[in-house]
Amino acid sequence: MSGVEVAKYSGFCFGVSRAVKSVYELIHGGAAGSIYTLGDIIHNPTVVSDLEAAGVRSVTPDALPSICDGAREGAEVTVVIRTHGVERGYSEMLARRSAENPYLHVLDCTCPFVAKIHDIVDKNSAEGTVTLIFGDEDHPEVRGIKSCVSGRAYCFTDKKQLEEQIVPLISPEDDVIMVSQTTQNLTEWKNCQNFIGKLYTRAKIFDTICSVTEKRQNETQQLARRVDVMVVLGGKNSSNTNKLYSISREVCPEVYLAENADECRSIPIGKHSKVGITAGASTPDSIIEEVKTIMSEQIKDTVENGQNEAEESFEKLLDETFKTLNTGDVVTGTITQISNTEIKVDLGTKVTGILSYDDVTDEPGVKLDEVFKVGDQVTAYAVRVSDVDGVATLSKRKYDAKNNWQTIVDAYESGEYIEGKFVEAVRGGAICIIKGVRAFVPASHTTVPEGGDMNEIIGKKMPFKIIEVDTGRRRVKASARIPARAAARAERKAAESKFWDEIEEGKEYEGVVRSIQSYGAFVELGAGVDGMVHTTELSWKHIGNPSEVVSVGDKIKVFVKSFDREKKRISLGYKTEATNPWTLFTSNYKVGDVVPVKIVSIMPFGAFAEVLPGADGLIHISQLAAKRVAKPDDVVKVGDTVDVKITDIDYDKKKISLSIRALIEEMPEEEQEEAPVEEAPAEEVPAEEKAEEAPAEE
């Protein structure tokens, strides 16, 4: 049954409602002077615009000093801290300045749930702790939380990032606490809780997702399962709104994100559609009600007009089936067949498009099946249409030439160098193709010495300068004789462009380390393009600085983990499974092997020893000697090298058990007596422990 259903927990939460109401009260109460909010009071353009019209200005924290300095008699200032809160340094500065200046007022609208997280991390973090924050590091709420942390703090957005990038930075001895941004995804938060809880049994994990957020997300998921179309209302830069959108998309086939009612008018609604509406914490009730009305009216209109629309759609489909093309039309179709001499194109009409080899490109020697694939879209001119034969002769070459002509003209006017390719030797010079346009290159403007063979340059790609354009006759003259500096610059640009065309995830490069930062190493991959290897990707063991693994100038083999063409950023990997210490250990060692190890740390329950770099094993206190010892450091010291026997390998948990005692017990009795054993003084061994001691340990 069709209809519209609105989620119960939609719109303003308590914190947002309080903040917005407080600002409007300042306006309508005639607050003296200027009103500023630290960032937009909420992520809703409609509300923000309304406040701006009333004189409320949104500012960034770096503007606070000058705003505070301007507060004086006759020019009072009120600064509003929004629900996200603010970094501790700014809040302390505002408190201090307002106490000193009676004309500066501060209205703190920080959400109580957010303020509670500030208090939690303030009380539970210290210099020796690691605080894990589940949230977007750039979000103002997370920045505020992080500012209250003592010791190290790491932010993450999902379990994968937590496991792969954050955990390697934490040692087993660290005290760990974990909190969440109030608007995070509840399911992912539970996954992260379970993961950290198993890894660090002493970790303090605080449930800090807002209870309203939790209810809103659960209800949204249930509603999205029941409807055909889901509308999510809220600011597109709002964290909690985007979470609702993601949750809806997991279970509903059609989901739309809108900031206001006008954006909802174009949402396609079927006559039998059931529409669900949910809204983020920054969406006023007025917008929700307006959208509900619009959706209801659209369903009603669709039912009434459904029959007419169906008839019109049928007529339209019938018309398209029998429509014809005219010579000179620009058409776009799908390639259905490729041979050595032509390409067949489905144009969605009763005629089939044919692209002959010569109408595809001016460049000789090109293999059509290497440039095009069945299923590709292609646009061309219809140069001849025969309804009788059912064939339309097409020309992609003419279409490209016309559409690229302006590029040639622009290059001529700007003096820009543009890449092309020599394709033919002719009398007095050569022909090159630049952006699909044929250009004549006089012999004196080629790279061939006077009297030389022009055929030597055919097929060669290089940068060209457009030196003459005849728009009327559509003729172009170009030069390949470019100053060395400009040529080098053009070649670098072409090489860089080629690099980005060919890059793909997993591709390996041999690069040179160009610089080292505290968070990673930058590696030049060629063509002037750099990528970054994060510290966690340099080694399987925890390192303090990339310089522990690589140095500037080193040649290293890396692979592409991810990249962003638009931002020109590349994330690289360096460590591989082949260099994984656990892989190396299990490939070369087994239970029963005797190996020399180095003591790297001592704990009350035993000593950790390095079997090979990055692979440590535990010598339990009971396995340090043939008899009971009081403290591990009575027997071994950090830095000692001792022989041990591998007694157990836990492949699932990646743990290695080592024993000195097993080696001693395998010695002849006379050698056992000579083996150095540190015994605890009699008074240090409790009587009850002696009584419980098993004979096998004597």
Residues designated catalytic? 141
Residue type, 125: S
99: buried, middle or exposed (CB in 10 Å: 19+, 13-18, 0-12)? exposed
Contacting residues for 412 by C-beta, under 8 A, at least 6 apart: 466, 467, 468, 469
On whether the CB atoms of residues 244 and 216 are closer than 8 A, the answer is yes
Q: How far is CA 454 from the centre of its chain?
A: 50
On whether the CB atoms of residues 648 and 591 are closer than 8 A, the answer is yes
Q: How many angstroms separate the CA atoms of 669 and 365, rounded? A: 85
149: buried, middle or exposed (CB in 10 Å: 19+, 13-18, 0-12)? buried
141: buried, middle or exposed (CB in 10 Å: 19+, 13-18, 0-12)? buried
Q: How many angstroms separate the CA atoms of 671 and 93, rounded? A: 72
C-alpha atoms less than 13 angstroms from C-alpha of 445 in its C-beta half-sphere: 21
Angle between helices 211-226 and 239-251 (to 10 degrees): 30
Which position has the token pair 């690229």? Answer: 404
Q: How many angstroms separate the CA atoms of 209 and 180, rounded? A: 6
Angle between helices 112-124 and 140-147 (to 10 degrees): 30
- Taken in order 194, 196, 202, 205, the sign of the CA dihedral is negative
Q: 382: helix, coil or strand?
A: strand
Q: How many angstroms separate the CA atoms of 196 and 180, rounded? A: 13
Q: How many angstroms separate the CA atoms of 630 and 690, rounded? A: 12
Of the candidates 520, 518, 532, 534, the one whose C-alpha atom is nearest the C-alpha of residue 570 is 532
- Tokens representing 556 are 């290293």
On whether the CB atoms of residues 484 and 456 are closer than 8 A, the answer is no
Q: 187: helix, coil or strand?
A: helix
Sheet containing 204-205: order of strands:
152-156, 129-134, 175-180, 204-205
Q: 497: helix, coil or strand?
A: helix
Neighbours of 644 (CB within 10 A): 25
